[in-house]
Chain A
């Protein structure tokens, strides 16, 4: 690659010609403050924090978008630059609802951090502030525009990465606000509820709808048997909330923390994931055999499901009817487990700890019930679970590991990789192959469906059949697949879609990192690696070999796809229409 010589703050360096000044500075270990910049996603030069001086240039340069050039001499830390940045930041603060102490993002807010770094000790330019109503009508996401600094990272995420475009800037000038069409709640616009916008928001303007209070209440209620289940991706990230390095697998500590909070049982959603593979795998086999509604598409990502219901209502028959793992598992807890444990299902309160905010809305869908009882009563994000632990005085760094409770705590390696893109596909392939061929797989790793590529395609040989699969993550990639299905230009049999780029490890409920970390660390790759490692180290790595699942079918469900299984573990979808009133 062509390189250029530049000097930043006296440091001479050679960098690729394609670098921005910001890229080069970061490589040189120089910290330039940024707010609006999100590498490859939001490069709009809006916030003016990253300005620098370039010798010979008229005015300041915007380092996040300004390409380097041969011989360029850059200064990032001059009195004029410090002064200008400080005034800009003070102006932002003057229009910001500075309720740091009661903000979900307290101590994890890029605005707050900058105020600290820039030594803001007085606000010189206070004045009027626009007041906007808070949108808390949506079961997944809360929007508080009064904390928005208009960096538009969320807008770019939604429009460019997710191709949803549910939010955009409205009005102009001082009245600008990021909002939805006709000022509706996110729940009433074609938002997928993926929560990716939350993860890129530098401030507390976007957050999950809190469920901690409701869960504490259930825990305090002596008549309730409170069961918690945790999704695979949670264990690969929750440690970050306690300062552990990104990619730390903290399964035992997480379980111990939840027990300490006071949950009566801590189960593993992975068991539910194994169950999903049994049900969905059966559906895959049937549909391929009957050549019916192909490709069959996974349905465990509720953000994806809602997106499909909004954008591709004509293709809903392609979606597997299997509920997502935690919903299946909730239904089993309130039926099979209740029976076994001799507890009235009405007294059971099921909490799911999820890397996801869409699951909050999913759990409230009318269809998600057993005999009139909710499958799942409350959904906590990874972040909320950590918050509850902190509230209870628990530090995952110092707690001793604990094990999931039985009888529902056993799960396989196939289930643990559900948390990353390609994982559901791989888990399903392991089971489907062995069932179809009746032979044990020689190689159980399906490398071809792993990795970060947005749309992965592979042809898998199962017996003498060529099974064509595709794996899409991030809704822009989902759109590509769906459009090709609609146009009839693809011949996939089986497709995995996850709403979030990278899959659940990068879900909208996961720990939030600042833009610089996002740009310089492969967060989702490290988390995914933790899950693949866990898979490798587990004794059982195929869902159909899980003894708990086998027993469940023997004792309770009969066989995969049975009537009972359908009643408890399957669902249906419907077209979503907006703006009709």
Chain B
């Protein structure tokens, strides 16, 4: 167990060792090579780069260079990412084979490896991380340590002000002070609904119970979302510290983090963080020599999306089938094991230490009037800079997609952006200048959600997109209540018809009738929001639905069932290559005279189009 003084000593000592990471004017001769160890870069083998680097360091006995595996830098599209500090050189898409050259030239001779530098969207080569457009409009509060520290080393966390907020809270604030500070900050839940965090803390504090719990929702099941996961992977102590603060504020002694088992790196790093915190006495009894006692446990989820819903999460933690239960009672009064429980999202917690250290006023100065602070988005789909971004609330979609995200690849047009995952909606170009905050997004038929942002270009069919999300909800519905269990299935069947060219008059009205009633009748948020993707695409792209039904035509051409594949007689040379490659033998003809496709047999797979050497086959 460490005293406040001992922690301070660790902070000073470690800071002196790693301050060069933040100090561009550092004049010493040390270098830190930061290699991204987030899930994206790990899957493009950043770990091999790290081993190779360490092998070289050992082999050549290099003394002043350290390699650090960090959390996600955000620009996943360019991974694996290597950053060399203090000079802040940014190497993108480096491979194991490039490591020797980096050492040979850069580390040993101070010469930048030009070919590994990253080209920005505007074509400029950038040398330094902060020159990238991708980072210019971002503001890192939640992700401040991600990519900066070794997440498996508590000392590095402590060096950058880690556990200072907990110390402040325990030594100079009452639980009410803490609740009030969080209330004053205006922080709202980042898990989707945007409920004022301070109020939730207050409810839980006021609830009567012999035992209380704090819990963290790290289920993050939206397709393509990895905000929370990145925090766990890149800065796990931020969560541990925040949960301890929350526990102190509401009067809990025990906490649970519910993480899905499919996030092995996150789980491992969080467990390490918990172990280290225990070792330092930052978890357990008598923290910082006070009466305060708190411990934390990880509970693994099996990866059901509905287990992210707060009551289903609690059922699951308790060892039951993960099904939502009716509210009231709310978790603040009757949560885990029937006791008052505070449940917040990872990103929500990740703001807490900053609020405590910098004050509610500072936090309130970021963002908009009703939506304070920043929001992390996992940006994906048809966008150049696929990755993780953190922006102040109020940033517009256009800024995120074009300035930060680098726009749409392949010179295509922007068509729509989906926020809020399967619960959210599609936002068309006309609303690109909407500032991102809870209210504005709801007003245009979408929602903030947990931070998934999927960009779609003009090749995407909006009916098909709606179907994609509904496929997801049909799969993920827990099945407890009929509107969601059966209703989403029925909606999906209609969308299936539409995209297969079998839409009927009245289908749109049926979709609307179902959507309305599923939304208002379902038991939990999953069902209550499941129709949103359909409703929002109907709102902005109704003509596409109508074309599918009335003309049996998919305007974007994505729904293959509605296209016909034909051979242009004039261009066909009768080589028979198409016929040989057709998987269903739909093409026939005599060698050297034009071939033709039997429309009844053709499955529109398009193999022949690709095979024809004379470009004689096309889809209409």
Contact = CB atoms under 8 A, between A and B. Distances in A.
Contacts of B321: 168-169
A484 interface: no
A60 B517 CA distance: 11
A67 B321 CA distance: 25
A456 interface: no
B517 A46 contact: no
Given A125-B514, A172-B304, A91 B487 contact: yes
A92 B482 CA distance: 6
Contacts of A172: 304, 475-479
Contact of B490 (A60, A83, A127, A168): A127
Given A59-B528, A88-B482, A150-B479, A44 B326 contact: yes
A124 interface: yes
B481 A46 contact: yes
A30 interface: no
A544 interface: no
A48 B510 contact: no
A80 B479 contact: no
A414 to B, nearest CB: 45
Interface stretch (A173-181, A238-246, A257-265, A394-402): A173-181
| Main SS at interface, chain B | helix
A168 B521 CA distance: 24
A375 B321 CA distance: 44
A124 B489 CA distance: 14
Nearest to B506: A124
A421 interface: no
Contacts of A67: 328
A173 B490 contact: no
B512 to A, nearest CB: 12
A168 B323 CA distance: 13
Given A171-B479, A173-B476, A173-B479, A150 B485 contact: yes
A47 interface: yes
A84 B520 contact: yes
B486 interface: yes
A282 B444 CA distance: 81
Nearest to A177: B479
Contacts of A174: 474, 477, 479, 485-486, 489
Contact of A87 (B476, B513, B528): B513
Contacts of A60: 520-521
A553 B268 CA distance: 76
Contacts of B478: 172-173, 176
Contacts of B475: 172-173
A127 B492 CA distance: 10
A128 B496 CA distance: 12
B484 to A, nearest CB: 8
Contacts of A128: 489, 493
A173 B493 contact: no
Contact of B486 (A80, A85, A92): A92
Contacts of A127: 489-490, 493
A149 interface: yes
Interface string A74-92: 0000001001110110011
Interface in B521-541: 521-523, 528
B482 A62 contact: no
Nearest to B326: A45
A138 interface: no
Interface string B325-361: 1101000000000000000000000000000000000
A91 B483 contact: yes
Interface in A127-182: 127-128, 149-150, 168-169, 171-176
Q: Which of B328, B479, B523 has the most CB of A within 10 A?
A: B479
Nearest to A35: B482
A444 interface: no
A80 B516 CA distance: 10
A88 B480 contact: no
Given A60-B520, A124-B510, A48 B486 contact: no
A62 B304 contact: no
B531 to A, nearest CB: 12
A94 interface: yes
Interface in A512-529: none
Nearest to B478: A172
10 contacts: A44-B480, A47-B481, A48-B482, A87-B517, A88-B483, A91-B483, A150-B480, A171-B479, A173-B476, A174-B486
Interface of B: 304, 321, 325-326, 328, 474-483, 485-487, 489-490, 493, 510, 513-514, 517, 520-523, 528
8 A-B pairs closest in CB distance: A176-B479, A45-B326, A173-B477, A87-B517, A91-B486, A174-B489, A65-B326, A173-B479
Given A48-B481, A173-B485, A176-B479, 13 more contacts: A44-B326, A45-B325, A59-B520, A62-B326, A80-B520, A87-B517, A88-B517, A91-B483, A124-B513, A125-B486, A171-B479, A172-B304, A173-B476
